[in-house]
A and B are shown apart, each in its own frame.
Chain A
């Protein structure tokens, strides 16, 4: 860390607690704004996270959860990834092994990683690496699988596993060579431009995906020795509007990890959900998760599906809201307001304005032209969430509640208020209030 914690915030005095919290939160937001996230590499998961090399460890989205409480898509993904890793001969075997406790389950967040929806991370997957060059920390996220039937929505059939094998054997190594032959991709800059092009980086990533493809293409062409493989990868990236999402998520994780463990700070460092529980972490409250039952997204469904098919909210992707994007940047993306059923395009700015009420500051480098260059709301402050009674808004995909079917819609969901009131109570208890 290049920033030092002012000594004044390490020894609280009861008469100026509020001033010390404000000072600590100012430091937290300064670290967020000083971050320099760069996409630098793609590496094998057990190289990125050595702990994955031993045993049968499966990292998942959200706060900790046991097999018995996991939702349908999460179970489907776990069964699929166990077959993919060669730990089980069939999906049925994998489920039996999971129920018998033969796999270790851990949150991605405990290993500097994040994953969308079910968020499967295991030893042999290629992980994208975003390095925060200001603070020297790295964050990891798997490569986005594309649309349709995919593991992040609980898909686990042969087509899903075949795509994962292609990502491992073809896409990952090519991206690795390309990135190692480059200076890396300045993600902060890509996001700044994406905001001016109608992306909010959660449910709309079409601009950033295109910008990323433009950055990577020359380097991919330079290292590829097989024109067909190169064409297949370029088509895969170019055909997936959400390709950038996973890069944005690793970026969010790389920005927020240096904000952890600042004494007296009430800034939220992670929001995440596993399909059963929603959890948040707060800077001064260590690694503790504050959880509550996750809510059901309200949104629009693809033809043939209704809310009866929907699974409760899921994924580590709320790390993008934690850094002021997604639902917080809805004002940049009137198109996404319609896609997620959030109302008229003219309503989009209201979501961003309401999130300013619960954040400590704004980000002048990530501004929204349509809101007179308003910076995105930055630094969710649990004090302000509780005081305003306004919960963070999240743009999200909606998974089918049964494993193996995939995405059935998109919508918005609120973080449960209990996470924030519980965290504030814990903060007060820590101070002896």
Chain B
């Protein structure tokens, strides 16, 4: 599926009309989004509650905060 294809695999109607191909960013308005939520899970939960497909990536800032990050920058990992 190209960025100009919609979720059913059909070519975008604007592209099919012979107009200039859409830039990738413009296709965001024409295809179903593929969503990956990084970090705070509340955003993903909100989408999921509305039936939107979303992948949650468990991530948090390295070292759990500025103080520990500073220590690690000195003692290494």
Q: Which residues of A are at the interface with B, using a C-beta cutoff of 8 A?
A: 14, 17-19, 21-22, 266, 381, 383-384, 386-387, 389, 417, 421, 424-425, 427-428, 431, 433
Contact = CB atoms under 8 A, between A and B. Distances in A.
A428 B71 contact: yes
B51 interface: no
Nearest to B58: A389
A17 B62 contact: no
Contacts of B60: 389
Contact of A433 (B62, B63, B75, B77): B75
Nearest to B76: A18
Given A387-B62, A389-B62, A389-B64, A425 B75 contact: no
13 contacts: A383-B72, A383-B75, A383-B77, A386-B64, A387-B63, A387-B77, A389-B64, A424-B71, A425-B67, A433-B70, A433-B71, A433-B74, A433-B75
A425 B76 contact: no
Nearest to A389: B60
A431 B64 contact: no
Contacts of B63: 386-387, 389
A387 B68 CA distance: 8
A18 B75 contact: yes
Contact of B74 (A18, A381, A386): A18
Nearest to B59: A389
Given A389-B62, A421-B68, A384 B75 contact: no
A381 B72 CA distance: 12
Interface of B: 60, 62-64, 67-68, 70-72, 74-77
Nearest to B69: A387
B34 to A, nearest CB: 24
Query: Chain B interface mostly helix, strand, loop or mixed?
Result: helix
A383 B76 contact: yes
Contacts of A383: 72, 75-77
Nearest to A418: B64
Contacts of B68: 386, 421, 424-425
Nearest to A14: B74
- With a 10 A CB-CB cut-off, give which of A386, A421, A433 has the most chain B CB atoms: A386
Given A389-B62, A389-B64, A384 B71 contact: no
Contact of B72 (A14, A19, A387, A431): A387
A15 B62 CA distance: 23
A21 B76 contact: yes
Contacts of B64: 386, 389, 417, 421
Given A386-B63, A387-B63, A22 B71 contact: no
A427 B68 CA distance: 11
A350 to B, nearest CB: 14
Contacts of A417: 64
A386 B72 contact: yes
Contacts of A425: 67-68, 71
- With a 10 A CB-CB cut-off, give which of B62, B68, B71, B72 has the most chain A CB atoms: B71
Contacts of A428: 71, 74-75
Contacts of B67: 425
B62 A21 contact: no
Contacts of A431: 74-75
Given A386-B64, A387-B63, A421-B64, A21 B75 contact: yes
Contact of A266 (B70, B74, B75): B75
Q: Which 3 pairs of residues, A with B, have the shortest CB-CB distance?
A: A18-B76, A428-B71, A387-B77
Contacts of B77: 381, 383-384, 387
B1 to A, nearest CB: 29
A339 to B, nearest CB: 25
Given A386-B63, A389-B60, A421-B64, A17 B75 contact: yes
Given A387-B62, A421-B64, A17 B72 contact: no
Contacts of B74: 14, 17-18, 428, 431, 433
A431 B71 CA distance: 10
A427 B77 CA distance: 13
Contacts of A22: 76
A429 to B, nearest CB: 10
A151 B20 CA distance: 79
Given A17-B75, A387-B72, A387-B77, 9 more contacts: A18-B74, A18-B75, A381-B77, A384-B77, A387-B62, A389-B60, A417-B64, A424-B71, A425-B68
